[in-house]
Amino acid sequence: MTRKVILFIATSIDGYIADQDGGVGWLETATEMVEEDNSYEFFYQEVDTVILGRTTYDQVVNELSPGNYPYSDVTSYVLTSRETADVDSVHFTSQSVVDLVKKLKVEDGGNIWIVGGSTVVMPLVEENLIDEYQLSTMPVILGQGISLFQKMPESVSLRTGNIRLKNGIVATTYYKK
């Protein structure tokens, strides 16, 4: 059985994953957590590998969770052009995300979470290597920022799965056809 590659990410209504400065503070202010929501915990239980770009990694370790890397219990691959020594379960690589995902998909293991950003996501979309898209649409229109999806040479058709509304967030799952 091959591993699933999952994009699990939040966007604004207008499709941005960060504001124009790369910030994600709007994620916390966009909703009020009235109902308990443990969907992230359920999702993360099945993950044993995360893939993220260097900018996202730096944002996580320097701004969002300094001193407490939130993915320390799984294997991380950070895509970067900078020579960086691996730290514990965090592997820095200049390998293309497409080659890395193809290699990991045939290995034994759990789900592979594509954390972000768009430079990591887009080559996988274009090669149709993402098995599942779990998009949480936040009730905010940013007007500008960093888009999740960029221009592509061809469209990718998906199959709609579950749709859920909780705390004002619309969570939609799409599957590769």
pLDDT at 1: 61
- Indicate the burial class of 158 (C-beta count within 10 angstroms; 0-12, 13-18, 19 or more): middle
Mean pLDDT of 126-137: 97
State mean pLDDT over 10-18. Answer: 96
How high is the mean pLDDT of the chain?
Answer: 94
Which CATH architecture fits 5-176?
A: 3-Layer(aba) Sandwich (3.40)
C-alpha–C-alpha distance, residues 169 and 41, integer Å: 16
For the chain, the structural domain boundaries read 5-176
pTM given for the model: 0.94
